[in-house]
Amino acid sequence: MKKDYSWAITIQKEISRKIITCDTIDKIENICGVDVSYKDNIAYCSAVITSIPFKLIATLNLKCKVEYPYLPGLFFLRESGPLLDTLALLKNESEFDFDILLIDGHGVLHPRRCGLASYVGYTIDKPTIGIAKNLICGSLLGDHLIEYNGNVLGYRIKKEGKKPLYISVGHKISLSKSIQIVQDLTKDGERIPEPLRIADVNSKNYHNFA
> Which spans in 4-148 are helix H?
6-16, 75-93, 116-124
| pLDDT score, position 54 | 83
Q: How far apart are CA 35 and CA 37, in angstroms?
A: 7
Q: Does 135 score more than 70 pLDDT?
A: yes
**Under a CB-based contact definition with an 8 Å cutoff, are residues 146 and 154 in contact?**
yes
Q: Does 123 score more than 90 pLDDT?
A: yes
| pLDDT score, position 29 | 94
Q: How far apart are CA 151 and CA 148, in angstroms?
A: 5
Q: How confident is the model at residue 96 (pLDDT cuts 50, 70, 90)?
A: confident
Q: How far apart are CA 80 and CA 83, in angstroms?
A: 5
181-210 average pLDDT score = 89
165-178 average pLDDT score = 98
Q: How far apart are CA 175 and CA 152, in angstroms?
A: 9
Phi first, then psi, for residue 69 (nearest 5°) are -75, 170
The amino acid that residue 104 corresponds to is D
The amino acid that residue 155 corresponds to is Y
Q: Does 2 score more than 80 pLDDT?
A: no
Longest dimension (CA), the chain: 52
- Can you say how many angstroms the Cα of residue 118 is from the centroid of all Cα atoms in its chain? 8
Nearest residue to 132 via CA among 122, 142, 118, 143? 118
| pLDDT score, position 94 | 83
Going by their DSSP bridges, the two strands 145-148 and 139-140 should be labelled as: antiparallel
- Can you say how many angstroms the Cα of residue 84 is from the centroid of all Cα atoms in its chain? 12
6-21 average pLDDT score = 97
**Residue 85, Cβ density class (10 Å: 0-12 exposed, 13-18 middle, ≥19 buried):** middle
Q: Does 1 score more than 60 pLDDT?
A: no
More confident residue, 159 or 14: 14
The share of the chain scoring above pLDDT 90, in percent, equals 81
Domains of the chain: 6-209 (3.30.2170.10)
**Residue 195, Cβ density class (10 Å: 0-12 exposed, 13-18 middle, ≥19 buried):** buried
Q: Does 70 score more than 70 pLDDT?
A: yes
